[in-house]
Copies of this chain bind each other. A is one copy, B any other.
């Protein structure tokens, strides 16, 4: 029942024709008028009729909760990132398949208004390069959330992985990490700034500038260059423009991301099909594997 649960999941579940909020699980927080449990095991035990669970915790505790819910026969929606490690996600995928349950890795930025149009526009084009800028003030976006600088919190990749989830969704090529530079505050365990160089399969450079020490408004922008024009994406996927792109398919407000997530989850539950996408987390793990580290000033809120 943290920030993202209250800001997005609770209102979208309330608005969804497919779901209703049967209960919350949180050691402390609760919602007026909604059945509440302090831990997941108690809820799974008490309410066998609850058939689906949305996990909105920090990633460090996600695996154990997801595994317990799947083994108890529940369908599971995972907030992004779907785990601390890629192997965790593959294991959950295997458990879900073995138990016949639905597992959905919900990358909210993939549901931003312009993403489908961008993907369609890029299909059949050859990407010749891309530049991504993903900069924000962590004191504004994650105030006091120490978990983000803990191991597994991934630091500036926590927002950066949203860009990676867009890229892997819309670019018609595999991506791979070529090199990375990470800035590590002396008193933290995850990077506060990062410059990432990736490549498409045939070597087109895809560069990404991530920063948590940005002053002022957040920048969530990308330019994808192709053999037939450039595509520009700004405000995290809310605004997309390119020559020949039907503008009517783009635009809209960011809150719609979570409405679309619950529509997708409802479809998956009805079809009894999982949708597990580990690619953004894989690129993040690969970036950490290939990174050079530089020490940065200690960071305090």
Contact = CB atoms under 8 A, between A and B. Distances in A.
Given A86-B86, A86-B282, A282-B86, A91 B289 contact: no
Contact of A87 (B85, B184, B286): B286
Interface stretch (A171-179, A217-225, A243-251): A171-179
Nearest to A203: B64
Contacts of A95: 201
A185 to B, nearest CB: 11
Interface string A167-195: 00000001111011000100001000000
Interface stretch (A38-46, A227-235, A290-298): A290-298
A87 B176 contact: yes
A288 interface: yes
Number of copies of this chain that the complex holds: 2
B282 A87 contact: yes
Interface in A137-190: 151-152, 154, 174-177, 179-180, 184, 189
A52 interface: no
A125 interface: no
Nearest to A202: B67
A131 interface: no
Contacts of A279: 87
Interface string A57-76: 00000010001000000000
Contacts of A289: 84-86, 152, 154, 284-285, 288-289
Contacts of A184: 293
A206 interface: no
Nearest to A286: B85
Given A91-B174, A174-B91, A189 B85 contact: no
A91 B199 CA distance: 12
Interface of A: 63, 67, 84-88, 90-91, 94-95, 151-152, 154, 174-177, 179-180, 184, 189, 201, 279, 282-286, 288-293, 295
